[in-house]
Amino acid sequence: MKQPTICPKFEKAISLLSQRWTALVIYQLLLGPQRFNEIQSSIGISGKVLSDRLKDLESQGLVNRKVIPDTPVIIEYSLTEKGLSMEPILRAIENWSQAWVKPDSEFSED
Query: Each residue of 63-94: pLDDT tens digit?
Result: 999 999 998 999 999 999 999 999 999 999 99
Does residue 10 sit within a domain?
Answer: no
- 2 inside domain: no
**pLDDT at site 2:** 75
Within-domain flag for 55: yes
Prediction pTM value = 0.86
Give residue 4's pLDDT: 77
C-alpha distances in Å from residue 11, one per residue of 17, 36, 50, 71, 79: 10, 29, 23, 43, 22
**How many whole angstroms separate alpha carbon 95 and alpha carbon 53?**
25
> How far apart are the C-alpha atoms of 89 and 74, rounded to whole Å?
30
Whichever domain contains 60, its CATH number is 1.10.10.10
Confidence of residue 108 (pLDDT cuts 50, 70, 90): low
* Each residue's pLDDT tens digit, 10-54: 999 999 999 999 999 999 999 999 999 999 999 999 999 999 999
**34 in a domain, yes or no?**
yes
DSSP strands (E only) in the chain: 34-35, 63-68, 74-79
